[in-house]
Structure 1
Amino acid sequence: MEKQKTEALYTERFKHHNSLRRKYKRTYNINATARLLVFVVAIVGFYFALSTNVWIVTCILVATIIVFLVLVQYSARLERMVRWHKELALINEENLNALNGDFSEFDTGEEFKDMSHSFSYDLDVFGQESFFATINQTTRPGGKRMLAGWFMQPLQAWEAIRKRQQALTELGTKTEWRHQFMAHARINRMDDASENLFNRLSESEIGAPKWLIHDFIRWGVPVLTILTIVLSSLQFIPVGYPILFVLLQWGLVGLAMKYTKKADAALGRTEKIMLGQKALIKLIDIEPWESEALKQISQNLNEGKETALQSITRLAGIIKSFEYRNNFVVAIIANSLFLWDIQCVSRYSRWHTEVSLHIKDWMRALDTMDAMISGGAYWQNNPGFCKPLADAQQQLQAKELGHPLLSEDKRVVNDYDFPRGTFFHIITGANMAGKSTFLRTVTLNMVMAMAGLPVCAKTFRFTPVAIFTSMRTTDSLSKDESYFYAELRRLREAYDRIRKGERLFLVLDEILKGTNSEDKRKGSMDFLTQLKRYDVGGIVATHDTQLGALADQYPETFENYCFEIEITGEEVNFDYKLQPGVTQTMNAQLLMKQMGLIE
């Protein structure tokens, strides 16, 4: 029912904004036609008016210019409205598609794939058909990195998880606000180059001499210049005095040239970015927040000598003043009378000294909000998922736990409990019975929970813990490294962390696959038995049913579970339901026969 409500909301909003987009687009086209008609009528009127009074010609000319400029301004506004509603319609359409399992418009985070990471590669966190591709709606490079960081370095402190949960659930209820933030950010999109240019503002000290940008110079010299021009025009002083002061101004402008260029290069093409940041900051400022984390973001944008909004507005004005220099005529007049270049350098230098240190903090606050918006949307788009709760007694206790990347009609759920302390579940089962998927189900949901997200379960209580997996070890020709050695190196990494006292939730899928069966069994049993000495828990999936003997030898540390299959003649049926005990059925030969590999 909740999913249907969300779907209806997105559908209604998509239709609304798409309708407004078409409306403004029609008006925009009418406006373009009107401008053409005004131009044609003006030419015809001007032609016939030439034979009449000069005042009539002048009036027609002035009226035409005024009407044309009004239409141009109106056209620019209409163009902005078309773009605005187009983006809002697209955002709702993308979320509507996501509700139905189509995440093709979301960035997959391919650049974050790392085979050496503790778990993200094994759990399909990043890349094509990954978890990240189902949640990532970020609009800023920094927001994308921050969101990825949630899943590479999950929170361990329950209080921090609780605060993020509160923030994301609050954003999950603010559909209109989230979409406005995204629309502003997409219209004034910040790419990597823009982000780097913007962040360098905090480091771009131009080093102009204090005397050159002193108030006496930047105000005193222009005042004296204008005063001498006035006095000379009244013939109180010779014309040489204003000429002398104009030359003095150009001399000072020449001295400031290298500093002007440095400031201009630092500001670069940031004006459009400024407009985007200003809109985002204003949105955050005017919204009443309830959760601590969102209040903190708003507070971070209001720290310093002046607020982020005031500072960005001030900087936008400085950028505009630098742009006036690009007009040759304006630059000549302004530098002759007002020391314009020095005015620009002085304004930028003062801004940089007073507030530039806060720029990176403000950008980080916007990036945090960008990441949280993706999290808020995930809460709204998955109403069937549950809110994870803390449990000091159990490592994990879940009801109807399922894999979040599987569609609801294909998802098989299991109840699953895992105790605190040093304990392992040994899971056996036939090929394709669901062992590996179950490992990913448990661990991915734990990662999601530690990121402050809802999880794919009816109820979910857990204790945050560092996760380490060994499921997809690969060899490396470039490193002259065999598959078996690569797997040992992976296990050694986990073991070193465990010996240093770090508690890990260890997830192993068919360990020691690179050696013979007997060697594999003995090595696996020795390694798991050795782990009894440490504060570690986890799940081990294997085809080797003899590992189940560990539960008989050490029942306080090991427990057996399995996925059974049902073989009827030549058919193999899978129910993917977790059961206690060691599996009693295998299917390798039957599957090979079905593939025509053996007779």
Structure 2
Amino acid sequence: MTLDECSAIYQNRIVEFSASLTQKKKTINIISNLRLVVAVLFLGAVYLTFSTTPFIYAAALLLVAFVILVQRHAKLFAEKVHLENLVTINQLEVRALKGDIAGFDAGLKFVDGSHAYSHDLDIFGDGSLFQAINRSNTLDGKNTMAQRLTSPLPSAEAITEHQEATKELAANINFRQHFQAAGKEIDEQPLDRQELLEWLQQPSILFDKSYFRLLLIALPALTLAAIAGAFFITSLKSVAVLLALTQWAFLGTYVKRVNAFHEYISRKKNILEKYAHLLHYLQQETFQTPVLKKLSAQAADAGVNVKALASLVSSLNARSNAMTTLVMNSLLMYDLQCVYRLEKWKHVHAAHLKVWLDAISETEVLCSVGTFAFNHPGFAYPIIDKPLSIVAVGMGHPLILENECVPNDITLGTEPSILIVTGANMAGKSTFLRTIGVNLVLALSGAPVCARSFRCPIITLRSGMRTADSLKDHQSYFYAELNRLKTIMDELRSDRPLFILLDEILKGTNSTDKQAGSIALVKQFVPHPCLAIIATHDLALGDLETEYPRQVKNFCFEATIENDQLSFDYKLKPGLAQKMNATFLMRKMGIIPKD
């Protein structure tokens, strides 16, 4: 499949969903008008009932019809919102294929300058890898996606299983988009999930009291029986009143705790219904790969049970109505019935709710990666190998458009394990470091990479490219860089294999000191189990290839100056760079005079 074919699929889906949306809006208008007509007829029938008794039957039928129309309207409106989300999703993907990912969450809250590599590699922020790949809508889904890009999967087996799941989802655009559209309906607050899980741990008010189960049946039954009997035996009126007061006495005993319980859980009805909707999509889909089968199995019956929880919360919310509180608590111990049933739900399903919510988050992440794979049909799934070696053929940066991306090959490990990359300003050194770093992040998260082939081990990634000073921590730029390098060396000395990316080491000191320190640092890498790429303008580091011919290799990006014009081919070549462009550019821009 080509990018044009991907775009055509999205365009066709926009047309299809837009047509369905137009029809749905027409149907909603018809139902709305019918509802209005039925309401007017109902009021008329009620009025006529006072003079002609048989109209009461017509009023009853019209009331039933009105309720059915209200329910139908609500269902149609939900379907309309879902279709609107599907149209939006496909419109955004068409733009994404053209390089415009501004419509997606940039993950700014995950930007962390102290992380081992995420800030250097543009994992988060505007124009980032997260913005390009994430399609999660729940807050925990986004958190899981961020974690996947900053903490690799634990084993080659796990990565392979996620690759298989990604392939299956990439081919299942219907499930991906319907699941994503359902997720877009969620208006989730930051503490919703946490508060739900905390509610599961709260001690019961009623459920752990065994006598309450009998009391909640017996007392309302006796009250209703006394009321019914009072029509025939006058003395039972006082008994009915006494039983109603007894119900209020029990509620009075627990009213503070019931109020606190209601306050805590009342706002969760809508979010629970949305969770149930997502779980319904997950459990009804038939998958073939182990990871997706497991998630679907975890969601089995979850949609029904979570929706039941939402209904129970809705029932408890009805106590906010004064008439409900007065009548229902007098007859049925309504508040205590609701609390008891919610606590019963919690007792039965508490152990499952977190699993169900985690299944939603993990599915969102896999759908995100599946969409990323679908949008990049030319990307390859990496092979995760044991040798300490990275071999890439036709590797490019995944965020550069295909027609602009210049691919490069690289073999790193076994011999040599350290590459010194020199080159002129803007020739592509930093982009190359980010290219291999981002592709490794993708590889270890189970995603396809921007390469014809890619082989790598499970290895810890460390970088030093954008170290910044910190006024808050009273830390200069140079000291911050030294701390980053110390962390890397401490890990190497503990025999932890690392993949190290460094761009212009020791920028915060003078050129002589920088050169001596950089050479000494690279020499420290040689005896340790690591792979390293060091980008530098300092050609003196190239002498290390002579000193360590098996471990160190020189590569470069060259600039070309022809007819007073500067150009780059962005191709990685063996050897040291021979051409620099700073003086040329300063003359070209009139900063310094031409010779």
Shorter-chain TM-score: what band?
A: over 0.9
Among candidates 241, 244, 267, match of residue 242 of structure 2: 244
Question: How do 1:295-306 and structure 2 match up within 5 A?
Answer: 295-302=293-300
1:333 maps to what in 2? 327
Task: Among all aligned residue pairs of Structure 1 and Structure 2, give the percentage whose two residues are the same amino acid.
Answer: 34
Are the counterparts in 2 of residues 560 and 582 from structure 1 also a CA contact under 8 Å? yes
Q: Distance in 2 between matches of 1:291 and 1:189?
A: 31
- Quick check: 2:123–2:130 contact (8 Å CA) kept in 1? yes
Structure 2 letter corresponding to 1:163: E
CA contact under 8 A between 1:202 and 1:360: conserved in structure 2?
no
Which residue in 1 is equivalent to 2:166? 168
| Structure 2: tracts of 5 or more residues without a match | none
1:423 and 2:425 are equivalent in the alignment: no
1:271 offset after TM fit, Å?
1.6
Pairwise CA distance, 1:68:
4.5
**Correspondence for 2:81:** 83
Per-residue CA deviations over 1:318-346 (Å, capped at 9, x if unaligned) read: 21321332232232222222222221122
Deviations 1:328-376 (A, max 9, x none): 2232222222222221122122222232233222211211111111111
Structure 1 position 84, deviation (Å): 1.9
Match of 2:354 among 334, 356, 360: 360
Greater shift, 580-589 or 76-85, is seen at 76-85
Query: Equivalences for 1:165-314 in 2 at 5 Å?
Result: 165-208=163-206, 210-211=208-209, 214-235=212-233, 238-302=236-300, 307-314=301-308
Name the amino acid aligned to 2:274: G
Aligned residue in 1 for 2:367: 373
Q: Cα–Cα, structure 1 residues 159 and 421, in superposed 2: closer, same or farther, change >3 Å?
A: farther
For 2:105, the equivalent position in structure 1 comes to 107
Q: Deviations over 1:445-488 (max 9, x none)?
A: 11111111111111112222111111112223343333222211
Give the aligned partner of residue 523 of structure 1: 517
Partner of 1:573: 567
- Does the 8 Å contact 1:551/1:557 carry over to 2? yes
The residue type equivalent to 2:89 in the other structure is: I
Q: How big is the shift at 1:207?
A: 3.5
Change (3 A) 1:393 1:503: closer
Amino acid at match of 1:227: A
- Alpha-carbon distance in structure 1 between the residues aligned to 2:353 and 2:58: 51
Q: CA deviation at 1:35?
A: 4.4
1:397 maps to: 391
CA contact (8 A) 1:213 1:346 kept: no
Closer, same or farther: CA 434–86 of 1 in aligned 2, 3 Å: same
Q: Contact 2:392–2:454 at 8 Å: present in 1 too?
A: yes
Q: Which residue of 2 aligns with 1:24?
A: 24
Q: Distance in 1 between matches of 2:279 and 2:194?
A: 19
| Residues 516-548 of structure 1 deviation map (CA, whole Å, 9 limit, x = unaligned) | 222111111111112222112210111111111
Letter in 2 for 1:576: Y
Q: CA deviation at 1:421?
A: 7.3
> Helix, strand or coil for the counterpart of 1:18?
helix
Greater CA drift, 184-193 or 488-497 = 184-193
Gaps of 5+ in 1: none
For the 8 Å contact 1:398–1:460, the answer to whether it is kept is: yes
Letter in 2 for 1:4: D
Counterpart position of 1:501 = 495
The aligned counterpart of 1:8 is 8
Residues 419 and 554 in structure 2, CA contact (< 8 A), matched pair in contact too? yes
Judge conservation of contact 2:207–2:343 (CA < 8 Å) in 1. no
Specify the alignment match of 1:486 in structure 2.
480
**Which moves more between the two structures, 6-15 or 393-402?**
393-402
1:100 Cα offset (Å): 1.9
Distance 1:360 1:477 in 2: 40
Change beyond 3 A, Cα 1:41–1:255: closer
Measure how far apart 1:211 and its partner are: 4.1
Distance 1:213 1:114, change over 3 A: farther
Aligned to 1:441: 435
CA shift in 2, pair 1:211/1:114, >3 Å: closer
TM-superposed CA distance for 1:412, in Å, is 0.8
Residues 41 and 232 (structure 1 numbering): CA distance in 2 closer, same or farther, change over 3 Å?
Answer: closer
* Alpha-carbon distance in 2 for matches of 1:421, 1:359: 51
Take 1:119 and 1:61, find their aligned partners in 2: how far apart are those partners?
A: 70
* Greater Cα offset, 30-39 or 242-251: 30-39
Paired with 2:59 and 2:375, the residues of 1 have a C-alpha distance of 58
**Which residue of 585, 589, 597 corresponds with 2:579?**
585
Alignment of 1:104-183 (within 5 A): 104-183=102-181
1:532 is matched with which residue: 526, 530, 551? 526
CA distance 1:534–1:44, change in 2 (3 Å)? closer
For the residue of structure 2 that corresponds to 1:363, the secondary structure is helix
Contact 1:31-1:75 within 8 A present in 2 as well: yes
Q: Any residues of structure 2 matched to 1:47-62 within 5 Å, and which? A: 54-55=52-53
Report deviation, 1:296: 2.0
Distance 1:354 1:203, change over 3 A: same
Counterpart position of 1:541: 535
Change (3 A) 1:341 1:481: closer
Which of these residues, 292, 310, 313, is aligned with residue 316 of structure 1? 310
For 1:411-430, what per-residue CA distance to the aligned partner results, in whole angstroms no more than 9, with x for missing partners? 11111111247820111111
Query: What is the Cα-based RMSD across aligned positions, in Å?
Result: 2.5
* Cα distance in 1 for residues equivalent to 2:586 and 2:196: 60
State the match for 2:558 in structure 1: 564
Check whether the contact 1:119–1:469 (CA below 8 A) recurs between aligned residues: yes
**Partner amino acid for 1:253?**
L
Q: Count the aligned residue pairs.
A: 593
Q: Does the CA contact (< 8 Å) of 1:143 and 1:370 recur in 2?
A: yes
Does the CA contact (< 8 Å) of 1:146 and 1:368 recur in 2? yes
Q: What is the CA distance between 1:67 and its match in structure 2?
A: 5.0
Paired residue type of 1:401: M
